[in-house]
Amino acid sequence: MRVDEIQTIEHDVVVIGAGGAGLRAAIECSRQGLSTGLLSKSLLGKAHTVMAEGGVAAALANADSRDHWKIHFRDTMRGGKFLNVWRMAEIHAREAPDRVRELEDWGAVFDRTKDGRINQRNFGGHRYPRLAHVGDRTGLEMIRTLQDHGIHQGLTPHMECTALQILKDGDRVAGVAAYWRETGRFVLFRCRAVILATGGAGRAWRVTSNSWEYTGDGLAMAYDAGAELMDLEFTQFHPTGMVWPLSVRGILVTEGVRGDGGILLNSEGKRFMFEYISERFAPETADTVDEAERWVQGDKSARRPPELLTRDEVARAITAEVKAGRGSPHGGALLDIASRRPADFIRRKLPSMYHQFLELAEVDITKEPMEVGPTLHYFMGGIRVDAESQMTRLPGLFACGECAAGLHGANRLGGNSLSDLLVFGARAGRGARDYLDALSSSPRADDEQILDAFRAATAPLHREKGENPYVVHEDLQDVMGECVGIVRTGEELERGIEQIAELKERAANVRSAGASQYNPGWHEALSVHALVTVSEAVARAAHLRQESRGAHTRLDHPGEQDEWGGRNVILRKASDGTMDAEVVQRPAPPEELARIARATIEELEEEVSAERGGAAGTAPSAAAPAAPASPGGGRG
Amino acid sequence: MAEQWEFRVWRGDSDGGDFVTYPVEVDPGMVVLDVLHRIQAQDAGDLAIRWNCKAGKCGSCSMEINGRPRLSCMTRMNSLPTGEPVTVQPLKTFPVIKDLVTDVAWNYVQNTRIPPYSPGPAGADGTRRMHQQDVERVQEFRKCIECYLCQDVCHVLRDREGRDKFVGPRFLLRTAALEMHPLDRADRLPALKEELGCGMCNITKCCTAVCPEHIKITDNAIIPLKERIVDRYHDPLRMLWRKLRGQPPE
């Protein structure tokens, strides 16, 4: 193999991953006049964003005029158990409304309020109806809007093209080694900046809402190239995945079901969430069925039903009920909207849930409850980035969306992911532009490095003997399910780390039969490396964090510990190739942000109201008239 | 209880291929895609399949199952005749890359030919007001998951004569979503009449029949576009005569 025999494509910037974050970043780069290549493992428009259902969170204050970025920021910090990067949570809450309105400028058609503005729905952990949505297919609307806008902005999509390795010139990014799925041929991208937008690594678990693409490629590539990973112990188990039939176990059931009035019941028919209200949320959560009902009816003095607590709390509650022997027939909880809303309302607001259950589980959700249980859904942790520019510790390497760490802290609120993609996708694009403006010379990867990357990739095809990569992957899923699951102990995590070390060796010796053209067995062999790397990082970080916070629950270290609220776990590759895990102290929060996040909701509502020049209290007083939300879209 | 089934899967590439039979165990609740994954993990690691979400939302896993174009992730095994072998082959309208994967890149090129969304300025308060009842038709069209099953069954595209003269039902649907958008100001009728080839659709409604999102592609999107073209380009006197006689346009 010689470098001049390999197809070479030059760009200023290569964006890896074409979900919402990658598309938004690529649009921003093209807009800045940069030659931009957009790599996607799948066809354009098929990335995981397409599966997002409930909506995109932004304090537009359309459905409730009391909403404000400060309250969105406070909700995000509390949901993240104060481990969020303060500045990222601020940027996110401030910029999300403009990013959503921009989507509308590009052709998105959200559901409307009665007075014709973007409608918003309730979701767990959000004080007001805040999620702009299109029924329960918001992700499809977003990705199609970005795709259809993007193709006219001059960016170049490279479809079914998988990145293998970040190439460097010294300590700067110089390109990407990749291959075309369709032909199995290699391609060399020479560029001066790379933006990673590759999502998480849910496929390391068996019960997951994630598609095959979620193998942690970006995290592993960044780690191998010398960037740092952070907060990997925080893996979100979404409380409501399908549990039956087995073949669909894990597929997502939108939180919108609960936002629109759905309730959770155990096998005794008891609405159990009232038993699981934590101290932090008690002042803002209904403690009787009566109050919860009044809230659903639109009584603004009533507090929110406990089904709308944050995802970590609801997932733990379902797990506890099942453990106590009060689970549904197939080991979950019952999610009931049939007895709460008329059939035509359910079909209109939750059309894809209706079809999903009817076609895959033969359950009519307008007549019967759904069986649901926790499913691995999202990585709060990821690549450590600068809050302003999204640049990693490796100059020229950026990360945005799920693969970046920081915004969500220990637990993500529903709806904050779609806004994350837009806000930080755009920022990564601008960050890359600024970096290129300041770059005085063009980095260039040397031939040896390029050839090494491609030789390593072909190894599984050339081995005479070796294991089936599918088997290694399944064994990894068993280890993660047993040792690094929704509740963890130090002992199990230690066992997990040992077993992952064995899997690492097995992953290095897998063999794929057949040729390189569109060969899923070969792709599996390549992604197992990333999966094992990320799994080790999750297990090591989870082992180090000796407390329970957000999505990370340690049976042997219950409750949040104040000292851990000031620490992050950072993972990096040591010079000998082993994984280095370090606990670092977080900088003190900016005073003003700390004040906002820790204010009571009454104080903050009063402050926001006064800022807008209206009367203090709860009366709608913003510049825009209060919009009566359509049924289910808002509280009213 | 698990059952034993036989799957006849087309294996090959652009040079040709043939059906290979795989005996496979099927568990209750499985869909065709689950069974193909089992074959892939146990017997044929290099069996090419395109898929993503496995929940009918991304439109990647389109193929022909017992001769019918369908999403394999939404085709339950208990909907197929028991005891008979299941035949699985790639979409016929597009060139085969390998096994069940076809080259659908042509569709992405068609999309770039449609004049993009062109709204006027936002309102004085920064909002763009539209009423729910005015966007519902457009929202129906925007449910499309780009599975290209409609393109696969379209006679005009299947015969391949229509290629490059006709964008197919998927992209007429997309054009209709733009044309019927309450705030869009672009005029796509000249493009529809000429290069997008709206007139070549002969309204057999095969596209509507296979749409997994149940979008009424022909009735709600294509026919209204044809009517708009007729309204604009047809002889005004004959149009007037028709109007007086109370006849619907062609």
User: Would residue A258 show up in a list of annotated catalytic residues for this protein?
Assistant: yes
* pLDDT over 60 (residue A627): no
- Degrees (nearest 5) of the Cα angle A489, A490, A494? 120
Cβ–Cβ of A248/B46 closer than 8 Å? no
H-run or E-run covering A360: helix A351-361
Q: What per-residue string of b and e applies to A396-424 under the rule 16 or more CB within 10 Å gives b? A: bbbbbbbbbbbbbbbbbbbbbbbbbbbbb
Q: Are strands A7-10 and A36-39 parallel, antiparallel or unpaired?
A: unpaired
Q: Which amino acid is at A168?
A: K
pLDDT digit string, tens, across residues A468-488: 999 999 999 999 999 999 999
Among A78, A172, A238, A249, which one carries the catalytic annotation?
A238
Cβ–Cβ of A211/B97 closer than 8 Å? no
pLDDT digit string, tens, across residues A38-72: 999 999 999 999 999 899 999 999 999 999 999 99
Q: Tell me the sheet residues that pair with B18.
A: B11
Residue A628: the pLDDT is 37
Determine the average pLDDT of the residues in A142-156. Answer: 97
* pLDDT over 70 (residue A616): no
pTM of the model: 0.94
Determine the average pLDDT of the residues in A593-609. Answer: 96
Size of interface A-B (CB pairs under 8 A): 173
Determine the average pLDDT of the residues in A309-336. Answer: 94
B250 CA: distance to closest CA in chain A (Å): 31
Q: Residue B159 — pLDDT band, cuts 50, 70, 90?
A: confident
User: Which residues does chain B have within 8 Å of residue A148's beta carbon, measured at their own beta carbons?
Assistant: 111, 116-117, 174
Determine the average pLDDT of the residues in B153-182. Answer: 92
Residue A617: the pLDDT is 43
A396 CA: distance to closest CA in chain B (Å): 30
Cis status, amide bond into A157, omega within 30 of 0: no
Domains and CATH numbers, chain B: 3-102 (3.10.20.30), 105-245 (1.10.1060.10)
Write the DSSP string, A137-162.
-HHHHHHHHHHHHHTTTT-EEETTEE
User: Which residues does chain A have within 8 Å of residue B125's beta carbon, measured at their own beta carbons?
Assistant: 623-624
Detail the DSSP E strand segments found in A359-495: 370-379, 382-383, 397-399
Residue B160: the pLDDT is 67
Contacts of A394 (CB under 8 A, 6+ apart): A166, A168, A171, A172, A173, A222, A225, A226, A227
> Is the CB of A625 inside 8 Å of chain B's CB atoms?
no
Residue B176: the pLDDT is 98
Q: Which two tokens stand for residue B33?
A: 């895609």
User: Which residues does chain B have within 8 Å of residue A207's beta carbon, measured at their own beta carbons?
Assistant: none
Cβ–Cβ of A251/B135 closer than 8 Å? no
pLDDT digit string, tens, across residues A455-464: 999 999 999 9
Residue among B60, B21, B33 at smallest CA distance from B212? B60
> Tokens 């069996």 correspond to what residue?
B47
H-run or E-run covering A346: helix A343-349
Q: Please report the ipTM that was assigned to this predicted complex.
A: 0.93
Tell the burial category of B235 from Cβ atoms under 10 Å away from its Cβ (0-12, 13-18, 19+).
exposed
Nearest to A137 among B29, B104, B143 (CB): B143
User: Would residue A121 show up in a list of annotated catalytic residues for this protein?
Assistant: no
Among A172, A258, A377, A549, which one carries the catalytic annotation?
A258
Q: Residue B1 — pLDDT band, cuts 50, 70, 90?
A: confident
Window from A107-111, A247-251, B116-120 with minimum mean pLDDT: A247-251
Domains and CATH numbers, chain A: 240-375 (3.90.700.10), 458-581 (1.20.58.100)
Q: Which amino acid is at B171?
A: F
A524 CA: distance to closest CA in chain B (Å): 9
Q: Tell me the sheet residues that pair with A248.
A: none
**3-class DSSP state of B100:** coil
Residue among A288, A281, A257, A120 at smallest CA distance from A635? A120
A432 CA: distance to closest CA in chain B (Å): 27
Contacts of A527 (CB under 8 A, 6+ apart): A203, A215, A217
Let me know: does B224 contact B216? Beta carbons within 8 Å.
no
Instruction: Find the DSSP H helices in A568-619.
Output: 591-598, 601-611
